Chains A and B, each alone.
Chain A
Amino acid sequence: MRWVLVVREAAATAWASKVPSALVGLLVAVMCAATIATVGRTAAAEQQLTDRLDEAGSRVLAVADARGEGLLPATVVDQASTLSTVERGVGTLIPVDVVNGVIGQGGTRVPAWGVHGDLTAVADLQAGRWPGQGEAIVTDTAMTQLGMADPFGWVALASTSEVDDWSVVGTFTPRDPFGDYAAGVLYVAPADQPVDTLQVVLTDASAAQVTQASVLALVDPPTPDAVTITSPVSLADLQAQVTGDLAAFGATLLLGVLGGGALLVAIVVLADVLVRRKDLGRRRALGATRATIITLVIGRTLAPAILGAALGVAAGLALAARLGQDNIPPADFTTGTATLALIAATTAAIPPALYAATRDPVRILRTP
């Protein structure tokens, strides 16, 4: 039998058997809608959790020179920034207070950080240019507090014992996760001065463990308490644990919905096969092979199942949307659900199809 005619025959018999076809379509639709509305919510929650845990702020590894022993020279910062698991990294000095140099010690104090490394790792330039040695950039907030109308002028240390100043050459906004710098000034740290803190943003939170080990190898602290480490390792472990739990819960729920649905589809198809046994016996007598019978039974299950999957996905998405935009599962989950539901329905139709194909046509035809 030609394939195109098998498809036509399957569609025609599915249309002719309206009740079982409607039941199969309804079951597949319910499978899809229920999966999207329940498992889909879990998938959406898992996705949101992953997104949140993957934000830059959750991927920062900070190593501080606890006793100021000069353990973090510029070379360590440069080497750490080039690790394959590091997205970007900088070394910073302990912040100092600065005032508008024109106003002097009576001016409003704002914090200033000395930064070693690529400043683009921590800031986006808004106006002016990037600073060089002895120069600084400010945020709009700091500029207002310093009493500057434009990002020009200079800032000086708010200290009576030390004297240092930096020319202001531009404005910036801090990049995530360096929001603390929004309150102040960044200046280029002297290249020969070890930094107090090394901060690196990881490419992935799951790389925290290996990156931490690599960075500590570079720093090589004389004693474990010589450095203070703020690490996302435990956060990464938690992320893996929570997403794993959510995935396991979702998979169990998915298997339950699809398994239960498939069982019901199998019962409907078997009932249809039993009701239409004369039809199948006649087909065998007229020359249909067993393979043709199997294909027809599966085909006439698949036809309404495809329609049911489309309706079920639409209904599931509508239901999820009503429960809140955050509950709409990712597109690949929706497509995967429809595909799995169709596979489940097709698989469920195989045993009844085999049963139909192996019945004795004579016995069937001679049964009153």
Chain B
Amino acid sequence: MLALEGVSFAYARGAEELFGGLSHVFTPGVVTAVTGPSGRGKSTLLYVLGLMLTPSQGRVLLGGEAVSAAPDAVRARVRAHRIGFVFQDAALDPTRTVLDSVIEPALYAGWRLGDARARGSGLLEQMGVSARAGHRPGEISGGQAQRVAVCRALVTDPVVVLADEPTGNLDRDNAAGVLAALSAAAGGADQAAESADKGAGSGPDRGTSEGRTVVIATHDPFVLDHADEVLAL
């Protein structure tokens, strides 16, 4: 379970504090939309939850453990094993194939290449982009790129998926597809990966029976309509 406990954050000493001691428990299996006016720190909260920024006050708990205060190497390992990221612009490696981009977090998590490839291929199949597995990101559409980014976020079967404006650059149809994928990811039965898991021999099996925590930073009303819970900043 992911939780914030009295969290505040400032980019520099003496700068304006964000969140004002925010406490919140993110329920597994629930899609939470973080929203608010521009400058309130929607993306910043996501990076705090993703252990890339350290709160100036309070702490981030993951599975009851205060992970926000851990050393950098530990936080990196937590990101690789337990947290998936979806960035606004997909942020795929333009020089590598789609499949190589998808399996990247699994490599950092210490998976074997064959297992990672099997898992990544299964996810691409599930998301309907398996035909593009050998293409470069520049050869696929924005909607496809964002679905590939969702595959990358799910490849290590994380307990938390964080998405920063994942539909910001997409039309309605593609946005609906990505939201459906994220909702499915929160669904608990690891629907997105179910078929892929049959082919992936080893790799951490975290048992997502109670679902994943999915947090989406957004100001898009379409996303807010589809979220299970909204956290307004």
Contact = CB atoms under 8 A, between A and B. Distances in A.
Interface of A: 1-2, 5, 8-9, 12-13, 16-17, 278-279, 282-292, 361-362, 365-366
Contact of B107 (A9, A291, A365): A9
Contacts of A278: 91
A299 to B, nearest CB: 14
A287 B95 contact: no
Given A5-B113, A286-B79, A290-B76, A365 B96 contact: no
Contact of A286 (B47, B85, B100): B85
Contacts of B105: 286-287
A366 B79 contact: no
Nearest to B44: A362
Contacts of B100: 12
Interface of B: 43-44, 47, 50, 52-53, 72-73, 76-77, 79-81, 83, 85, 87, 91, 93, 95-96, 100, 104-105, 107-110, 112-113, 152, 156
B76 A289 contact: yes
A285 B79 contact: yes
B107 A5 contact: yes
Nearest to A281: B91
B109 A287 contact: yes
Contact of B93 (A1, A279, A288, A292): A279
A288 B76 CA distance: 6
Nearest to B113: A5
A362 B108 contact: no
A interface majority secondary structure: helix
A283 B104 contact: yes
A175 to B, nearest CB: 66
8 contacts: A282-B91, A282-B93, A285-B52, A285-B79, A285-B85, A285-B87, A288-B80, A288-B108
Given A2-B110, A290-B73, A366-B43, A284 B52 contact: yes
Given A285-B85, A290-B76, A361 B52 contact: yes
A287 B77 contact: yes
B79 A287 contact: yes
A5 B85 CA distance: 22
Contacts of B107: 1-2, 5, 9
A362 B113 contact: no
A289 B77 contact: yes
B91 A291 contact: no
Contacts, number: 70
B interface majority secondary structure: helix
B76 A287 contact: yes
Nearest to B105: A286
Contacts of B85: 285-286
Nearest to B74: A289
A291 B73 contact: yes
Contacts of A283: 104, 108
A362 B52 contact: yes
A66 B144 CA distance: 102
A290 B72 contact: yes
Contacts of B80: 286-288
A12 B113 CA distance: 14
A283 to B, nearest CB: 7
B178 to A, nearest CB: 18
Nearest to B81: A287
A287 B47 CA distance: 13
A1 B91 contact: no
Contact of A365 (B77, B91, B156): B91
A287 B91 contact: no
Contacts of B50: 285
Contacts of A9: 107
A1 B107 CA distance: 6
B207 to A, nearest CB: 20
A288 B73 CA distance: 9
A299 B96 CA distance: 17
Given A285-B79, A289-B108, 10 more contacts: A2-B107, A5-B107, A12-B96, A17-B95, A282-B87, A285-B87, A286-B104, A287-B108, A290-B76, A362-B44
Given A284-B76, A362-B52, A292 B108 contact: yes
Nearest to A278: B91
Contacts of B47: 362
A198 B110 CA distance: 76
A362 B45 CA distance: 11
B91 A289 contact: no
The 6 closest A-B pairs by CB, nearest first: A287-B80, A16-B95, A287-B108, A287-B79, A289-B76, A286-B105
Nearest to A363: B11
A361 B47 CA distance: 10
A364 to B, nearest CB: 10
Nearest to B79: A287
A241 to B, nearest CB: 55
Contacts of A8: 113
Contacts of A285: 50, 52, 79, 85, 87
